[in-house]
Structure 1
């Protein structure tokens, strides 16, 4: 049996974080005993089947301290006896002086609960996301003297202040991230470059077996066989769905297409209103959130996958959206933007179609090019699948994590962009 790990998560389970569930299941299969601790309770109405395969118990911290005042007060009192409690207090007071918010106080209270309710036999804390979860993890680790590590992903890397990133990177035993862009940013901020590692999440390819059928070579000329354009993602600003809708509205009148969107999100009503204003709402179907295996059928029945990712005003952005890798695993040609980790997966015109972000005209032209060239589109989809199956198998990431948790050097660190 490998070591017993506590894994701290911002929310669990979440439909939008299948890559985390996949990693948890992979670690269990590798022999680790896991205890999951979540800062928030689930809000999704559906859950992926993979969550039912994970055996680890799940414990929930008080999301807001006032909701469980006696639990929090008891924890703060008992935490005073922990060997590193006053060192954690010192860190907290210094952080509060630079970030005087209720959120900062909440993280310290949650850390005290985690420290006092620490599971017997667990000797390591691993945290997903380097923003607020890592604040809780850092304080709790300091209180009880347990080593901690962190997986940084996308928004958390780019919206957390540099002083906080530097200090968390200094305190964590190691940090792993999933794109070259994120890796370079964190390595540049760390005083110990060697403890920052790049490891792509990849896919559980058993859940995405090869698509053996051949797609029809539709080119949008026949009104009875419109091109099916698919996109999957929460309706949030960084996904660029407003750009995608504008691009769709700019496609020439002689092209026949339909658009399928899968995902929830707070901006869904705004997007539907925008589609109506653009005069394309009759060509769109909004499906809402779906489980991973339901989405697989849409990857296989669609002709093109489109996602117009952007960098938002506060720096938020995707890393390498897993849906692009999933779609590629099914030979589905992808049209996207050249931000963050997306160019690490796709080379324009080789295994994908890339344009600059925030440009609906360029996106429309790229879509049109892909629609009118079905043979080229098929070749690009095939090339994308080859890359996924060669370089994005999640088992490699699990092997790397096994080495890190054992304090062994990674045998084959992915600290560079894989060749196209």
Structure 2
């Protein structure tokens, strides 16, 4: 790879196990010939790495996670940034944002942007940020300072919890993004309404790179009385709905001999374990914590049902189209989820899996239905895998995204 990349990719943290869709995309963009460095706002906290992270050749730079961690670097960057042609405009933009968002995070974003703008290598012709909130703010301020175009990929929480004024200005205001990509039709509709120009927002599904996954295992038809192995993969946060799943498991009839394995970290582990203990279910649950991709695939191949009870959190946060649903489909695991956000864009209930409501009773009924009807569960799993292969593979989206990024960085600079 060239030592003078033409693109800077801004991310929240690198590497992160919970954001393998970003790693998948960046590896594919490298393979498509794009040259970039990664600029991370945070240092990694996961103790494991995904194999994809080791395939990426791009250099990774870490901005000061907190400005007081690197006072000399920040001071040097602020001094140098003042000499950049767009510093005055970026400073005014930030002051206007700070008037409406007086948090320390907003102050930190501008300091990180100064570091980014002054440390970008010569030859950088554009910035691309993952997530519309904090990473895009840093990318936007830095892009304005340097007089460069910027773009973003929006996903889920960043769309639904960011204030409307901020989304509107990043999409259509002065110094707005040249284009935005988002991974669900559900999110694209919302962003296009705010952008004014629908062509500015591209619907680009993450899709799945099936070359990273083994062929689906041969699955003998499970007998209705056999033990039922349930699996969930997702962070232990409110929007994943695992409290509803525990409540649903408590409602299952005694005749279903189930075990539930959960993979993923998160702040709600303690409360959820306490809920399971109080319901008398603790002995049936295996909390595995964060796992790497080979461990996740092995767990999927051993599971009878994949359950992801997504919901809308109190602050508006919600899933987009979780990649784990497509990963489960790739391994022919029957899927139970909920009709939230973009999940119905992949799973048509009754055809590719079952989608329940937010009520634990409905979730328990869906689990019992597929537990007692293994042939129906298997037919849905086969239909989901066929749809995955036909409509949700990775390459079409990568081709479109690479074209948009090339168009941005190849445009003459003003």
TM score, norm. by length of structure 1: 0.94
Partner of 2:382: 382
Query: Separation in 1 of the partners of 2:255 and 2:136?
Result: 52
> Which one of the candidate residues 189, 213, 226 is aligned to 1:208?
213
Is the aligned partner of 1:71 residue 2:73? yes
Q: How does 1:102-141 map to 2 (within 5 A)?
A: 102-141=104-143
Query: Separation in 2 of the partners of 1:55 and 1:231?
Result: 32
Query: Separation in 2 of the partners of 1:28 and 1:293?
Result: 23
Structure 1 runs not aligned, ≥5 long: 409-420
> Which one of the candidate residues 153, 156, 177 is aligned to 1:154?
156
Query: Separation in 1 of the partners of 2:406 and 2:208?
Result: 23
Partner of 1:33: 35
SS in 2 for 1:332: coil
The Cα shift of 1:122 comes to 1.6
Is the aligned partner of 1:347 residue 2:335? no
Q: Is the 8 A contact 2:217 2:332 kept in 1?
A: no
- CA displacement 1:208-233 (0-9 Å, x = unmatched): 232141244232x2xxx311010011
The Cα shift of 1:389 comes to 1.1
Q: How does 1:130-279 map to 2 (within 5 A)?
A: 130-170=132-172, 171-219=176-224, 221=225, 225-279=226-280
> Which one of the candidate residues 75, 83, 86 is aligned to 2:85?
83
The Cα shift of 1:120 comes to 2.0
- CA displacement 1:52-77 (0-9 Å, x = unmatched): 11011100000111111111111111
- CA displacement 1:315-347 (0-9 Å, x = unmatched): 001101111110011111110000111000000
Query: Separation in 2 of the partners of 1:285 and 1:320?
Result: 25
Query: Separation in 1 of the partners of 2:47 and 2:13?
Result: 14
- CA displacement 1:114-153 (0-9 Å, x = unmatched): 0000122221100000001111011000000111000000
Partner of 1:308: 309
Query: Separation in 2 of the partners of 1:322 and 1:388?
Result: 11
The Cα shift of 1:191 comes to 2.3
Query: Separation in 2 of the partners of 1:330 and 1:388?
Result: 11
Q: Is the 8 A contact 1:218 1:227 kept in 2?
A: no
Q: How many residues align?
A: 403
The Cα shift of 1:273 comes to 1.0
SS in 1 for 2:210: coil
Partner of 2:411: none
Q: Is the 8 A contact 1:215 1:303 kept in 2?
A: no
Partner of 2:404: 404
User: Cα RMSD (Å) of the superposition?
Assistant: 1.2
Query: Separation in 1 of the partners of 2:218 and 2:200?
Result: 44
TM score, norm. by length of structure 2: 0.95
Partner of 1:414: none
Query: Separation in 2 of the partners of 1:20 and 1:76?
Result: 30
- CA displacement 1:253-290 (0-9 Å, x = unmatched): 11111111111111111111111111111111111111
SS in 2 for 1:10: strand
